[in-house]
A and B are shown apart, each in its own frame.
Chain A
Amino acid sequence: MHPLLASRARLGAYLLGWVPIALLLAGIARSQGWSWAEAGTLAPPLCLLAAFLFLSAWFLCRALPLGRRVETLGSHGAAWGLAAVLMGGIWAGLAWLLARALAWIPGLGALPRRVDIALPVLTGLGILLYLASVALSYLMLAQDRAVEAERRGAELQLLAQESELKALRAQLNPHFLFNSLNSLSALTAVDPARAREMCVLLSDFLRRSLGLGERRLVPLREELDLARAYLAIEQIRFGARLTLDWRIDPAADPALLPTLLLQPLVENAIKHGIAALPEGGTLVVAAEAAEGHVTLRVENPADLDVPTPQGLGLGLRQVRQRLLGRFGNRARFEAGVQNGIHRVTLVFPLETEP
């Protein structure tokens, strides 16, 4: 379907655009000695015919999309020229027929003769008008493409965000699960009561993480609960190697943040901090609220033998993207090693559920 025919407003604007052309045509006819009646009767229907006839340019343009290469411009040019000559000829032919039809009206008897003389001019004019509508068609196609690209971009972004969340959920990492189950298997023999406790902790963690993955934004409180459930399990695995230090300001609890933003940070802290050090260390999770902003911090000892990474790992990059994607330049993300401590700091506006 032609886009101009699909929308009444567009069609109206297009037809309105033909009015000055009709006036121009009538003006030219007058200058050639036509009477007002002759010029005024022929020009409007002729232009109306052209308006619909030349819409066909759009289909040609759609079939021959504009590329960057010069060769295509050459072959397209031939097609445009041929179509323009054809359409100009048809239009002139219609003018010839129209003139003969109108000649029945009293006072317009001279019209066929006048049109016969003007046929070459009409053909030329038709060619020019057709070429103009080719240009217009390409403009419309380009605009449509831009709109389409924008829509597709937005769709893709949405899709990417969703699959990212799914990936995050899947990331709840199988090694962690198998290691935990292995600890559980060890505990069943040496300490059945703690084995049961670990079962409960694992179930609690799994239930929470599954529930969270469905939502886009959650209050910090829930993210912290998930981290607590996770770290309680890691505490059993790592024993004395892991010390936990929670510094949570209750005022920060209701702050909304993208789902599963904290979880990769604590997982990283365990994987690259505690697990990489034979003696382990202290993991700090701190949240403060002040002046409408929340500062969330995760700290862990870093292995000093490992060179400081130059970029961010995939996990941290994702956290940063999601934080900035949600809050834009109202949020801040910092990560780095200082004095043997790896620290990730997130600062974002304190927004709560209505």
Chain B
Amino acid sequence: MKALIIDDEDLARAVVREHLAAHPDVEVAAECANGFEALKAVALHQPDLIFLDIQMPKLDGFEVLELLEAEGKRPAVVFVTAYDQHALRAFEAHAVDYLLKPFSKERFDTALAKARAQQAAHPAVPAPAASELAAAARQGKPLERVVVKDGPKVTVVHLDHLDWVQAQDDYVLLRTEGRNLLKQQTLASLETQLDSSRFIRIHRSYILNLDRLVRVEQDSKEHRDAILRDGTRLPVSRAGYQRLRELWEGD
């Protein structure tokens, strides 16, 4: 069984390594100090199991998981985290297991046993999407950034830099700093994760960063356009205009 240890702290990785030493059939293929390294290492080693920290620089544990899923790779995941029980309760039913730092040898062995069991029962019950786990752990707080993987390249889009989003079948096109990025997610599911006071669904196919809006123009009786700071025109549906008006009148 091949495993990866992903944690930004040396000592935290050392604990996992130490506990794994008692299980000679588990090989530690690599240790990673951040999410980018983790993505590369998963692609390279195709591990069966990853020990994944949540709070890490650049990409957090959930984002790593989300990107792995987008690639169709889903090793068994054991979260190793100092997050409190409260946040964890939200997704405890879904992850293979989680270890709360610091943990005992017995607790570690239990987690490993669960991971083995899940592997044996392959193919496992379809687990919930990583984005759902992340949303549960965020406890309703809106997303702060979106991660997009395009081949080997990972882009982290901070929502301040997101101009608008367009639906394209099962994908969303994210417009950020003059670039277009494609991400496999539906517009409806992205909409639920965004801060609804900053991002408005102005049309069946468009979500707009309110900060970019200059004005709304009425072309004809039925047709309105949103004019953005950079001059872009996006269509505004009747329902979208209603949402904009509610927001303006709410101020």
Contact = CB atoms under 8 A, between A and B. Distances in A.
A198 B149 CA distance: 40
Contact of B84 (A174, A182, A184): A174
Contacts of B15: 182, 185-186
Given A174-B84, A175-B83, A236-B11, A182 B102 contact: yes
Contacts of A190: 14, 18
B33 A278 contact: yes
A189 B101 CA distance: 16
Nearest to B14: A186
Contact of B102 (A185, A275, A277, A307): A185
B100 interface: yes
A262 B177 CA distance: 37
B34 interface: yes
Interface residues on B, range: 20 to 34
A303 B57 contact: yes
A13 interface: no
A275 B160 CA distance: 22
A307 B103 CA distance: 36
Contacts of B83: 175
A186 B161 CA distance: 40
Interface string B1-29: 00000001111101100100000000000
Interface in A79-112: none
Given A186-B15, A307-B160, A178 B57 contact: no
A307 B82 contact: no
Given A278-B34, A305-B156, A237 B161 contact: no
Contacts of B8: 275, 278
Interface in A231-262: 236-239
Nearest to A189: B18
Contacts of B185: none
B9 A179 contact: yes
A314 interface: no
A231 to B, nearest CB: 15
A310 B158 CA distance: 13
B168 interface: no
A1 B47 CA distance: 81
Interface string B83-113: 1100000000000000011110000000000
A276 B11 contact: no
B215 interface: no
A179 B100 CA distance: 10
Interface in A276-330: 276-278, 303, 305-307, 310
A56 interface: no
B57 A277 contact: yes
A183 interface: yes
B122 interface: no
B57 A179 contact: no
Nearest to B21: A189
A186 B18 contact: yes
A187 interface: yes
A187 B13 CA distance: 11
Nearest to A279: B57
Most buried by B among A179, A182, A183: A182
9 contacts: A175-B82, A178-B82, A181-B102, A186-B11, A190-B14, A237-B9, A238-B9, A278-B33, A305-B158
Interface of A: 174-175, 178-179, 181-187, 189-190, 236-239, 275-278, 303, 305-307, 310
Given A186-B15, A236-B11, 17 more contacts: A178-B82, A178-B100, A181-B101, A182-B82, A182-B101, A184-B102, A185-B102, A186-B11, A186-B12, A190-B14, A237-B9, A278-B58, A305-B58, A305-B156, A306-B158, A307-B158, A307-B160
Interface of B: 8-12, 14-15, 18, 33-34, 36, 55, 57-58, 82-84, 100-103, 156, 158, 160-161
